[in-house]
Amino acid sequence: MSDCSVRSGLAHRLAAGLGAETARAFVARTEASADRPDAVAHLAALLDELEATSAKVARAAVDALPELDRQGGLSVIVPWLDMGVVLAQSSGAAALRYFKESPMILGLLERTETRGEALALGIEAADRDVTAALEFLRVAPDLERTIPFGDARRWLDVGLELAAVDSVAGIEYVRQMARVAAVLRIEDVRTWLSVGTHLVTTNTLGKPDYLAMIEFMRTSPTVLGEIEQPAVRSQSLRVASSLAERSPESAVAWLAEAPHLLRMLSSEERRLELLQYAVLLAERDAEAALLYLRRGPDVMTLIGEGPQARSRFETWLKAGMDVLAYSREGGRVYFGMESRNALASLERAMAGVPLRRVARRIKLFVQGLCGTDVTIATLPESASAADARATVSPDGRTMFLPAILRRYATAEENERWAMVMAAHEAGHLQFGTYRLRLAALADVIEEVRQRYGRLSRPVPGTLNALFQLYPLPKLAQDLWTVVEDARVEFLLQTEYPGLRHDLALLAAEAVASRRSDQTTTVTELMVDGLLRLSTGESPDSAVPRAIEREVSELWALCRPLFRKGATAEDAVRLTDALYVKIGELAASHSKRRGDDLQEDRPADESQTAPPAPLVSEQPTDMYRPLINHAHRGEMNPGFITWDGEPTKQDDEQDAEGSGTTGTDKEDSFSGRSDAVSGAEREGREADASDKPAGGQRMPAAVEELLSVDVERRWKPESAVSSERTVRYPEWDYSIQDYRVNRCRIIERPADAGSDDGVETILASRRGEIASLRKLFESLRPVAYRRVAGQAEGDDPDLDAVVRRAAELRAGLEGSDRVYIRRDKRDRNVAAAFLVDISGSTSRKLDGGRRVIDIEKESLVLLCEALEAVGDQYGLYAYSGEGAASVDFFVVKDFDDRLGTAAARRLGGLGPRRQNRDGAAIRHASAKLLKRSAKHRLLILLSDGRPLDGEDYKDDYAVEDTKRALQEARRHGIHPFCVTIDQETTEYQRRMYGDVRFAVIDRVESLPTRLPNVYRRLTA
């Protein structure tokens, strides 16, 4: 058949769907555009084949031709129609979707060559999986933008292989192929797929459930894209794959958290190191590996940098691997940083010196310097902050220092650095930095307000607010920081010559000037020069030659401050003088430089160039704040007020007066000013984004390791001041280690009830109470006892005097012990009574009374007896539910009087929930240890074995209670356990074997037996 007849036949065939003229024009454009001379003939043949397969699909193909033409797809019309034929032979529905969508898809492909390659790959794929072929064509435009399209075959082959095994997984992969290719190498894609396929589960009908896998494939490319380095991304997938083989949930959790956790590490090398060991751990236990990945960045941060960092980290890791080999649960606790063994291992591996190791020495040192009882505490998040600076609290009673001292290579140097930091802050306390009152500066404040046109603003309430009146508030604050630090260091060296060497040595090491580049202003260079001179550096090295004269004039103003009587007020007045002088000198310097350059400039340029801004005119972002020496702390001008009492109003005034954002306000905890500018603020924001979302960076146990326990401080749980919390470890016998900070005790006053029950007991057992009081009064020692035959005393011993006279008359050397001394006697006993009020105390006895009613009656009688003997005692009850919620109720504390309030709290006791004995015993022991007493007694009153949920029962609970009682004994406390149980069992002998105990089989006898038990214990 001739070409003319072929064209005519095709046009006639298309006329039914397109119209005669449109069909003829279309055939002509096809012949002109097609990439092969016989395109029209092939087109006709393919349409015939398609008609034979499905007339409906053939009509859809004809209807799509105009759109294909509009999208410029006529050059590939033959492979386009060929793919449609292949699809139609397998699925008419797929072919219909193809002809509807493909013209637009081809139009999105930018290169003509790519269109042909995409269709060729589609035809090959359609022979193996129709749906995969159609999905591939849909993602082809995105693939073209993501990878060289010549690599598309390799990516598609992976999907087709997967689809042959699991159609759902393969199709979903092809759909996400472009997004995956954007973040992964082809070598990593099978690892990625292995994670997804492990997420396929079986539903209740016994069929595969693909929901988790599909969600993973859709969301993980975005998450992986947040991991910047390709090598780290690849290794992260290896870890996920290894986790998925054992615990798919752990794999998903890891990938979700990976970007945040990896960003916590400073380099690609350290990230790869973390991941390398994670693969090894995952092969042993997925949960332990996940905990390692979560805590590893913290551990690496604490261990620090340096040539020994890797070996120290490996030592810590190996110790955990050994624990894991012995106990799976022990390994999980270790890598979760929840065990005492893990913390001890970490402390051995850490570079530097933990503050808590030298805190007591620093405390005594500071007290010796300034004569003030100062508490030493760690700066928040200072373990991971390289620039943490010492500071003090607003009241001057707490000094905050970095949690880890590791600025230097040796422990000795780091301890010296800590001592100098502490001495510097102590100097601020001793020499009155924060005792300054703004009232003494009223004239300066008024002059500043007038000078800079600030009379409409409120009178500043803090020194910080005064600085905000200056055009450059940070310049004013930096000048004050330099001169006040210099004043304090001068006085320290004068008063304590022994500090001179260390102060000078650290100052010489810590000099850190700004970069002397084109962005550094004359003002900044002058401030840096003053800082260097303030630490004793020579003018030749401290001051650039270009501003030598200016800095010399400024330093001359500072010299009067370095005398023994200089005060904090003098420093602020000098600050104002320096600010004004710097403005004058900066203007003069700019004018002088302008005159020097005038001869070299064209006339019109010299006339139009604007003058350099003066200090009084510069916008705030033209001055970059000072970088102070590392041993100098963070001073807070917000602490200095009119009356010494900072108020919220002052803080608000500071912000309003400066016209700045909220970031300029002082931080109420650390006293650190966050007012920054330009690049510095951007840098801090970047640092903040590096932290994982939500919660604190360090695990609670690590915070405990770094915390300073010179004085244990209570943590308020809420606005209710009477409710306080404290955490205690718990012994896990299965791993032979303590779980650090496992239990959270919530101490609160017992709920008040009616005192009618107490009054009823007092009335009904009046006679018995009288007998008990009389018996216990007999235990009270006589206030004083006479001791005869003493060398010194209050009265003469007549017998000894007569004996001495007789001996002297007989020529013997008589004894000089002829006095009587009266010694005061005291029982010196402190007793804590700890009562179990778990739900089991609601058990009713034969007479209808509950166990807890008998316990309360016993305590009423005991209190009356104890009041008679005069011992100091406390009554406590405990219950709770879970390790995080152990309730510790105070019925009567040691210093409370026995009265109506205690009676009501005792009357309000009722059965609660469960009983975690170990935590309650540890807390009661801690309260006892705070009492000044020669004999400390802990009496535990329980009605059975400890039980608190699934994680605190049987052997675990028994062993923890036993360990808590042993701990009490080691601290000099004498525990005694009274168990209300109908029969003695093996668990009691095991739990109380190391301490004395009594089993009361008749609960009704408890009220009479408990006081007798106490009498025997203290007789």
Residue 365's alpha-carbon distances to 107, 397, 417, 477, 631, in angstroms, are 79, 14, 13, 29, 16
In tens, the pLDDT along 932-941 reads: 888 888 988 8
What pLDDT does residue 679 have?
A: 34
Of 547, 573, 595, the last residue of a domain is: 595
Ramachandran region of residue 870, left (φ > 0), alpha (ψ -120 to 50) or beta?
left
Same domain, 976 and 934: yes
What is the number of structural domains in the chain? 4
What pLDDT does residue 842 have?
A: 85
Instruction: Cite the beta strand spans of 302-397 per DSSP E.
Output: 353-354, 375-378, 391-392
Report pTM: 0.70
Same domain, 887 and 923: yes
Same domain, 803 and 876: no
Of 556, 575, 595, the last residue of a domain is: 595
Same domain, 802 and 949: no
Percentage of the residues of the chain whose pLDDT score is greater than 90: 32
**Long-range interactions of 1001-1008: CB distance < 8 A, separation 24+:** 1003/845, 1003/851, 1003/854, 1004/845, 1004/847, 1004/854, 1006/854, 1006/855, 1006/857, 1006/858, 1006/978, 1006/980, 1007/765, 1007/854, 1007/857, 1007/858, 1007/861, 1008/768, 1008/861
Its domain, for residue 799, covers 785-823
- pLDDT confidence of 513, banded at 50, 70, 90? very low
SS3 at position 783 = coil
What pLDDT does residue 594 have?
A: 55
Closest-CA residue to 481 (of 633, 296, 334) = 633
Same domain, 557 and 441: yes
Cα–Cα–Cα angle for 420, 423, 424, rounded to 5 degrees: 85
* Burial of residue 693 (number of CB atoms within 10 Å: 0-12, 13-18, 19+): exposed
Greater confidence, 230 or 19?
230
Tell me what the mean pLDDT of segment 519-537 comes to: 81
Q: Break the chain down into helix, strand, coil percent, rounded to 5.
A: 60, 10, 30
Distance CA 511, CA 2 (A): 93
Same domain, 807 and 894: no
Report the DSSP beta bridge partners of residue 796. 819
In tens, the pLDDT along 542-588 reads: 788 888 888 899 999 999 999 988 999 999 999 999 999 998 888 88
Contacts of 567 (CB under 8 A, 6+ apart): 432, 436
Greater confidence, 122 or 793?
122
What pLDDT does residue 243 have?
A: 95
Tell me what the mean pLDDT of segment 472-487 comes to: 91
What pLDDT does residue 822 have?
A: 61
Same domain, 892 and 984: yes
Same domain, 918 and 818: no
- pLDDT confidence of 153, banded at 50, 70, 90? very high
Same domain, 775 and 857: yes
Q: What is the CATH number of the domain that holds 928?
A: 3.40.50.410
- Look at residue 91 and tell me if it is in a domain: yes
- pLDDT confidence of 704, banded at 50, 70, 90? low
SS3 at position 962 = helix
Pair of tokens at residue 752 = 């008040």
Contacts of 329 (CB under 8 A, 6+ apart): 732, 734, 735
Residue 681 has pLDDT above 80, yes or no: no
What pLDDT does residue 339 have?
A: 86
What pLDDT does residue 652 have?
A: 42
In tens, the pLDDT along 807-866 reads: 888 878 778 887 887 655 566 888 898 988 888 888 877 777 788 888 888 888 878 877
- Look at residue 310 and tell me if it is in a domain: no
Same domain, 774 and 895: yes
What pLDDT does residue 393 have?
A: 85
What pLDDT does residue 982 have?
A: 58
- pLDDT confidence of 712, banded at 50, 70, 90? very low
- Look at residue 280 and tell me if it is in a domain: no
- pLDDT confidence of 78, banded at 50, 70, 90? confident
Residue 887 has pLDDT above 70, yes or no: yes
Distance CA 940, CA 1007 (A): 15
Residue 387 has pLDDT above 80, yes or no: no
Per DSSP, 149 falls in state G
What pLDDT does residue 473 have?
A: 92
What pLDDT does residue 621 have?
A: 46
Cα–Cα–Cα angle for 172, 178, 181, rounded to 5 degrees: 105
What pLDDT does residue 184 have?
A: 93
Q: Which of 100-114, 664-678, 788-802, 972-986 has the lowest mean pLDDT?
A: 664-678
Residue 529 has pLDDT above 50, yes or no: yes
Tell me what the mean pLDDT of segment 275-294 comes to: 94
Residue 612 has pLDDT above 70, yes or no: no
Q: Which of 34-48, 394-408, 708-722, 953-967 has the lowest mean pLDDT?
A: 708-722
- Look at residue 591 and tell me if it is in a domain: yes
- pLDDT confidence of 785, banded at 50, 70, 90? low
**Highest mean pLDDT out of 306-315, 528-537, 605-614:** 306-315
- Look at residue 373 and tell me if it is in a domain: no
Of 96, 122, 142, the last residue of a domain is: 96
- Look at residue 912 and tell me if it is in a domain: yes
Same domain, 908 and 768: yes
Secondary structure element (H or E) that encloses residue 977, with its range: strand 973-980
Greater confidence, 15 or 125?
125
Residue 15 has pLDDT above 70, yes or no: yes
Residue 671 has pLDDT above 70, yes or no: no
- Look at residue 124 and tell me if it is in a domain: no
Side-chain half-sphere of 314: how many Cα atoms within 13 Å? Answer: 7
- Look at residue 700 and tell me if it is in a domain: no
Residue 233 has pLDDT above 90, yes or no: yes
Contacts of 516 (CB under 8 A, 6+ apart): 525, 544
Q: Which of 508-517, 731-740, 922-931 has the lowest mean pLDDT?
A: 508-517
Residue 46 has pLDDT above 60, yes or no: yes
What pLDDT does residue 242 have?
A: 95
Residue 677 has pLDDT above 50, yes or no: no
Same domain, 882 and 792: no
Backbone angles phi, psi at 24, to 5 degrees: -65, -45
